Amino acid sequence: MKAPFPKLIELPAAPLNASPAPELTSIHAARRRGPYGSSKYRGNCGGYLIRDLLRYYQPRRVLDPMTGSGTCRDVCKELAIPCVSMDVRFGQDAADANLYEAVGEVDFAWLHPPYWRQIVYNDDPRCLSNAATLDAFFVRLRLVLRNCRSVLTPRGKIAVLIGGYSDRGVFQPLPHLTVAAAAQEGLRMAATEIIRLQYGNTSSSRTYRSSFIPGLHDQCLVFESGRL
């Protein structure tokens, strides 16, 4: 029987409003990654969502504490926004508060952490992908959120891109747990969650013997200071 769902789905119309980035809605579907960062870096994201967020929030300075291949750094370069980047692969642990003394104030932090151990990046015990348990992952993610918040201006925002996945047979709803962890750090959601459709994932071209509901997206969660 033919599936009743079309391959191409028209997005619902978004209401007109005063947004400086009207294309930015709760669904982000960019088929290409743009000339930012490197597609070869595992678990990298494209640059268009970051670009839309920066056009929307218009920060004067950005912090990118888990830069990977530098996608956020490259978007900032294009938009001429100063950006401070760090990564544990360069020896900088974003969970270490001492590193932030040199950062100075920022209006926006782009945080793209490992999705726990879905991809293990290296064998550095400080890397979040090496956290032995989910609790240990969130202990360290909370430290990173706390550090980012410590350098945020009062109107500043922290955007976290993260997705849920099945870890050894147990589904881990990392975005939901991140909202709870952020609340523990005095951060509340500043806008709707943004569902980012993931095109070209390695898993999309594989065939599996087991049955599951494939996840085709991750989520971008934007936080600001303030209790719920």
Ligand X SMILES: C[S@@+](CC[C@H](N)C(=O)[O-])C[C@H]1O[C@@H](n2cnc3c(N)ncnc32)[C@H](O)[C@@H]1O
Contact residues: ligand X, CB under 6 A: 37, 41, 43-45, 65-66, 68-69, 71, 86-89, 92-95, 112-114, 121, 126-129
Please report, for residues 37, 48, 84, 216, 223, the alpha-carbon distance to residue 69 in angstroms, rounded to integers and kept in the order given.
5, 15, 14, 22, 24
CB of 172 to ligand X, least distance (A): 15
Task: Judge whether 190 and 223 are in contact, CB under 8 Å.
Answer: yes
Nearer to ligand X, 18 or 123 (CB): 123
CB of 104 to ligand X, least distance (A): 18
CB of 13 to ligand X, least distance (A): 31
CB of 36 to ligand X, least distance (A): 8
The dihedral of CA 128, 130, 136, 138: what is its sign? positive
Nearer to ligand X, 10 or 101 (CB): 101
Between strands 62-64 and 27-28, the pairing is: unpaired
Nearer to ligand X, 88 or 148 (CB): 88
Nearer to ligand X, 77 or 188 (CB): 77
CB of 35 to ligand X, least distance (A): 12
Nearer to ligand X, 25 or 85 (CB): 85
Q: What is the DSSP letter of 157?
A: E
- Return the structure tokens found at 58: 């218009």
16-37 in b/e form (b: 16+ CB < 10 A) is eeeeeeeebbeebebeebbebb
CB of 37 to ligand X, least distance (A): 4
Q: Where are the beta strands (DSSP E) in the chain?
A: 27-28, 62-64, 83-85, 106-111, 152-162, 165-167, 170-172, 187-189, 194-197, 217-225
- Return the structure tokens found at 40: 């070869």
Closest CB to ligand X: residue number: 68
Task: Judge whether 36 and 47 are in contact, CB under 8 Å.
Answer: yes
Nearer to ligand X, 20 or 204 (CB): 204
